[in-house]
């Protein structure tokens, strides 16, 4: 017996459409500025080593798990977990709740900054001092998370645009919305990025930047923080633990090459990051040359890379500098949107699966809530909130959710069942190594990571914030989403998830 959730499920129009949408979710702001910044901070080329290890040890096995699970259960994350055991439904809700009511709220605000900077590029409004411009004129940053001050109008105005676009795309559905948008966004993003990279590589001094990027400083590898950064970056960049890949895979037709797709999605995403890194480092090299500074001094902090160092570099360009700014910030907006729409879809499919509300109503309500929730990050304390919430949700939320995911699939459901489903549909098979990864390697590595992050949290509170602000803004944010998840999970289903979706 197949229940109506599985029967009436929409499907991607084409296989390529699914792959592009999944790649679109994976490639985001994280690939351009977060990756480059982490590489820069963590010893240039040496960062590539833990990054690639994280990709193979944790990223790819979990990608296969999430896509395999969504495909088998044909349901969103809560529906898929509930089909295995009702007791675990909360986990699916928790993932999509802390991403929808956490990560995407500030993520959309960063997209709004990019949109502002896109327009600033037309006349290089940041002038000769982008640092003062960004922090004091644009964000009007306050010095304390509890001093929110007023809401910044330019940010709110573009936040309206961002949420309108999010709403518009997801409202139109899987085929005409998400699939169509990604079919335009992804090729455009690849062209824009390639233009930026080749442009960057031709600038004087570029090669000194590339040398820093490619020359590993292996002494950094003994620092656990480098490894923590690499592993949490892999989660963030591959959208794992978000419930997104499960939802996207639930719209796949029966015949799907699960393993191949998982490898393609992970591979394209990471190659994109590494490729974009060439552009970023080339430009850093150029900046170092023109300002006569060593490369490791041109950038101070993460956000600074995109919104301070880049504007500075853009102003220094001899030709077509405005065009360069427009291309760079335009590509960040596109990369960001194709990611933010994916969580709205993942959340919507969870609600529709369980409560059978009308999809369009859910999307509209979510977009309004998303906009309203984002306002806190558009205040003068926005950047501080963003920094704290991002730290807690990505270093703890995503990691804890993934540990539970492995326990559920590896030990309660038994990986063998999912593995034979995956192998049934794939010409590339996964061997018992995969089960071993899900049952042992991945959870152990993640638990180790979690413990060392926790230990660090106590000895050296994150980012120099007061403990009170870390507790209230960071830890409590995570706990509230968990509480919401438990409540939603305890509500009865409109239709049973457990029989029909397991086929
Ligand atoms: N993978 C994305 C990146 O690297 C992050 C991301 C994907 C995301 N989906 C999301 C962030 C949904 C917020 C909401 O940038």
Cβ–Cβ under 8 Å, residues 266 and 61: no
Q: How far is the CA of 205 from the centre of ligand 1 (A)?
A: 32
What confidence score (pLDDT) does residue 237 get?
95
Residue 306 has pLDDT above 90, yes or no: no
Residue 438 has pLDDT above 50, yes or no: yes
β-bridge mates for residue 379, sequence order: 151
What confidence score (pLDDT) does residue 7 get?
56
What confidence score (pLDDT) does residue 4 get?
46
Q: Closest ligand 1 atom, CA of 244?
A: 9
- Whichever domain contains 79, its CATH number is 1.20.1740.10
Cβ–Cβ under 8 Å, residues 344 and 212: no
Return d(Cα 430, Cα 48) in angstroms, integer. 25
Our mutation pick for probing the ligand 1 site, out of 26, 28, 110, counting the most ligand atoms within 8 A of Cβ, is 28
Tokens of 301: 């902090």
Return d(Cα 190, Cα 272) in angstroms, integer. 8
Q: How far is the CA of 3 from the centre of ligand 1 (A)?
A: 31
Alpha-carbon torsion angle 252, 253, 254, 257, nearest 10: -60
Residue-wise DSSP of 444-474: HHHHHHHHHHHHHHHHS-GGG--HHHIIIII
Alpha-carbon torsion angle 43, 48, 54, 60, nearest 10: 160
Our mutation pick for probing the ligand 1 site, out of 238, 340, 389, 481, counting the most ligand atoms within 8 A of Cβ, is 340
Residue 247 has pLDDT above 90, yes or no: yes
CA-proximal residue: ligand 1, atom 8 (nearest): 339
Among 264, 107, 251, CA closest to 174: 251
Mean pLDDT of 25-32: 94
pLDDT digits (tens, 9 = 90+) for 52-95: 999 999 999 999 999 999 999 999 999 999 999 999 999 999 99
Q: Above pLDDT 90, what percent of the chain?
A: 74
Residue 467 has pLDDT above 50, yes or no: yes
pLDDT digits (tens, 9 = 90+) for 209-218: 999 888 877 8
Mean pLDDT of 425-441: 92
Query: Could you give the number of structural domains in the chain?
Result: 1
Confidence (pTM): 0.93
What confidence score (pLDDT) does residue 501 get?
44
Mean pLDDT of 314-343: 94
Comparing 376 with 150, the larger pLDDT belongs to: 376
- CB of 435 shorter than 6 A to ligand 1: no
What confidence score (pLDDT) does residue 6 get?
54
In terms of residue numbers, what domain contains 222?
4-500
- CB of 112 shorter than 6 A to ligand 1: no
Q: How would residue 1 be classed by pLDDT, with cut points 50, 70 and 90?
A: very low
Residue 147 has pLDDT above 90, yes or no: no
Residue 303 has pLDDT above 80, yes or no: no
Tokens of 422: 């995956």
What Å distances lie between residue 123 and 315, 320, 445, CA to CA? Answer: 10, 11, 48
CA-proximal residue: ligand 1, atom 12 (nearest): 340
Q: How far is the CA of 4 from the centre of ligand 1 (A)?
A: 30
The residues, any chain, with a CB within 8 Å of residue 342's CB and separated by 6 or more, are 21, 24, 25, 178, 239, 242, 244, 248
- CB of 28 shorter than 6 A to ligand 1: yes
Mean pLDDT of 275-284: 92
Q: How would residue 503 be classed by pLDDT, with cut points 50, 70 and 90?
A: very low
Mean pLDDT of 99-115: 96
What Å distances lie between residue 472 and 51, 100, 469, CA to CA? Answer: 31, 19, 5
Mean pLDDT for all residues in the chain: 91
Q: How would residue 305 be classed by pLDDT, with cut points 50, 70 and 90?
A: confident
Cβ–Cβ under 8 Å, residues 422 and 68: yes
- CB of 29 shorter than 6 A to ligand 1: yes
The lowest-confidence range among 162-171, 303-312, 383-392 is 303-312
Give SS3 for 151. Answer: strand
pLDDT digits (tens, 9 = 90+) for 248-265: 999 999 989 999 999 999
CA-proximal residue: ligand 1, atom 13 (nearest): 104
In this structure, the number of other CB atoms found within 10 A of the CB of residue 449 comes to 21
What confidence score (pLDDT) does residue 302 get?
66
What confidence score (pLDDT) does residue 295 get?
81
* Angle, vertex CA 227, rays to CA 458 and CA 310, nearest 5: 100
């Amino acid at each position: 017996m197949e229940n109506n959730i599985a029967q009436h499920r929409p499907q991607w129009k084409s296989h390529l459409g699914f792959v592009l949408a999944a790649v679109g979710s994976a490639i985001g702001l994280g690939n351009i500025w977060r990756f480059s910044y982490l590489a820069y901070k963590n010893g240039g080329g040496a960062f590539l080593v833990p990054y690639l290890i994280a990709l193979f040890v944790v990223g790819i096995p979990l990608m296969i798990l999430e896509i395999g699970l969504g495909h088998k259960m044909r349901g969103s994350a809560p529906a898929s977990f509930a089909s295995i055991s009702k007791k675990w439904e909360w986990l699916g809700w928790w993932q999509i709740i802390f991403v929808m009511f956490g990560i995407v709220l500030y993520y959309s605000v960063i997209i709004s900054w990019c949109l502002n900077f896109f327009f600033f590029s037309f006349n290089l409004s940041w002038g000769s001092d982008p640092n003062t411009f960004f922090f004091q004129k644009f964000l009007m940053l306050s010095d304390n998370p509890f001093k929110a001050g007023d809401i910044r109008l330019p940010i709110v105005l573009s936040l309206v645009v961002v949420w309108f676009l999010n709403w518009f795309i997801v409202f139109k559905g899987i085929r005409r919305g998400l699939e169509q948008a990604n079919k335009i966004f992804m090729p455009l993003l690849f062209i824009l990025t390639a233009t930026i990279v080749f442009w960057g590589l031709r600038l004087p001094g570029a090669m000194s930047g590339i040398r820093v990027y490619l020359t590993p400083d292996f002494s950094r590898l003994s620092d656990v923080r480098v490894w923590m950064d690499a592993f949490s970056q892999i989660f963030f960049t591959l959208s794992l633990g978000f419930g997104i890949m499960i939802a996207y895979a639930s719209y796949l037709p029966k015949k799907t090459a699960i393993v191949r797709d998982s490898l393609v999605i992970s591979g394209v995403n990471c190659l994109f990051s590494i490729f974009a890194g060439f552009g970023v480092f080339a430009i850093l090299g150029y900046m170092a040359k023109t300002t006569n500074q060593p490369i490791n001094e041109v950038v101070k902090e993460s956000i600074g890379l995109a919104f301070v160092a880049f504007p500075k570099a853009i102003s220094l360009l001899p030709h077509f500098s405005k065009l360069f700014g427009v291309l760079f910030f335009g590509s960040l907006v596109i990369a960001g949107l194709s990611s933010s729409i994916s969580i709205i879809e993942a959340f919507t499919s969870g609600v529709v699966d369980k409560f059978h509300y009308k999809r369009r109503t859910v999307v509209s309500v979510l977009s309004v809530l998303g906009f309203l929730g984002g306002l806190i990050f558009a205040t003068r304390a926005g950047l501080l909130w963003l920094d704290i919430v991002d730290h807690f949700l990505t270093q703890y939320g995503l990691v804890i959710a993934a540990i539970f995911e492995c326990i559920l699939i590896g030990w309660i459901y038994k990986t063998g069942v999912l593995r034979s489903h995956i192998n049934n549909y794939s010409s590339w098979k996964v061997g018992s190594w995969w089960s071993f990864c899900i049952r042992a390697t991945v959870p152990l590595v993640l638990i180790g990571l979690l413990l060392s992050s926790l230990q660090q949290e106590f000895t050296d509170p994150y980012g120099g914030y007061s403990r009170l602000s870390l507790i209230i803004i960071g830890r409590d944010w995570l706990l509230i989403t968990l509480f919401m998840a438990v409540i939603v999970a305890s509500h009865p289903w409109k239709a049973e998830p457990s029989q029909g979706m397991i086929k």
